[in-house]
Amino acid sequence: MAESEVLTPEKEKDTSHNSSETQKPENDKPQKDPDKKKKKSKKKSKKQSVEEVNIQPETENGKDAATVLTLRRRAGEVKKYAVMRRLAAVLAVILIAIITVVYAVSYFYDQYGSFTVKIDKYDMVQQGLSLSETPEFDRTTSRLNANIVYDMTNISGEDLPANIDRVNGSHNGDNYIAYTFYLTNSGKDTLTYSGELYMESITGNVDEAIRVAVYRNGEKTVYGKTKSNGGGIEKDCDKEFASARVISEEKHEKFRPGQQDKYTIVIWLEGNDPDCTDEIVGGQMKMGLNFKIIEDT
């Protein structure tokens, strides 16, 4: 029989030691350093933070873009509002200018609208026709403007003052217009002139009851419109209107140098005229008298 070997405790110890040594290479693996793990975790956290930092600007840029768009939109609205304000200001200025012009036209119409006397400036300069409100001709001109009467009501021609043609310039009554002026030949040539008294504008058919007295060097002629029924001249008139727009036509031949003609124009509403009714209340009339040379010698 084969003899079995008996192992002593020392040998057993050695054997266990050897066995552990023999097993060590098989199970021996490098242990992970915990410090390295911490470093790796730190690196990961850094990477994550970097990613977060990289992502964060994108969201902020998005917010910035939205903010920029909002600001641009608001800036556009402000600009549009500013343009509208400027446009409104310009329109307001234009409106004020229009109102001012209308007021000025109305003012000058009221100031000079009732009766205007004028001569051609060429005739004044070249031939010497001149106008003045006084016989001394201290101030000569080519245009005169009579004052007006507001809200003139009807009267009778018989109520006019007897000396109405003896006062120079404007000398209106409460319900009539009276204007006296002078026309002179201040040139060197004898001439013939004509004067046309006309109606520039008429409203409310007021001309149906209007009377115009023309005094030329003291001689009086009363003009009125033909009767509305076609019956001819009114009984208180000397002559009918020359036409629908022309009241009278004056003519002076052989008007010598230095010679002077005195005119007085009187305008009123004749209360005895059958056409002087409430229907013409509020009517208006603008008249003018124009002188011009038609022949010279």
Q: What is the pLDDT of residues 36-77, one digit of tens each?
A: 544 444 444 444 444 444 444 444 555 566 666 666 666 667
Strands 169-170 and 191-203: unpaired
Could you tell me which of 214, 284, 205, 201 has the C-alpha nearest to residue 249?
214
Write b or e for each residue in 266-279: b if 16 or more Cβ atoms lie within 10 A of its Cβ, otherwise e: bbbbbeebebbeee
pTM: 0.63
Instruction: Report the pLDDT averaged over residues 92-97.
Output: 83
> Do the Cβ atoms of 129 and 186 come closer than 8 Å?
yes
Instruction: Report the pLDDT averaged over residues 216-244.
Output: 93
Model confidence at 200: pLDDT above 80: yes
Which are the contacts of 238, defined by CB distance < 8 A and separation ≥ 6?
Answer: 220, 221, 222, 223
Report how far residue 117's alpha carbon sits from residue 132's, in angstroms, rounded to the nearest whole number.
10
Amino acid, res. 289: L
Half-sphere exposure for 76 (CA within 13 Å, toward CB): 6
Amino acid, res. 27: N
Instruction: Report the pLDDT averaged over residues 95-116.
Output: 61
Could you tell me which of 110, 259, 94, 142 has the C-alpha nearest to residue 191?
259
C-alpha separations of 158 from 148, 152, 236, 264 in Å: 21, 17, 10, 17
C-alpha separations of 127 from 193, 216, 241, 249 in Å: 11, 22, 30, 21
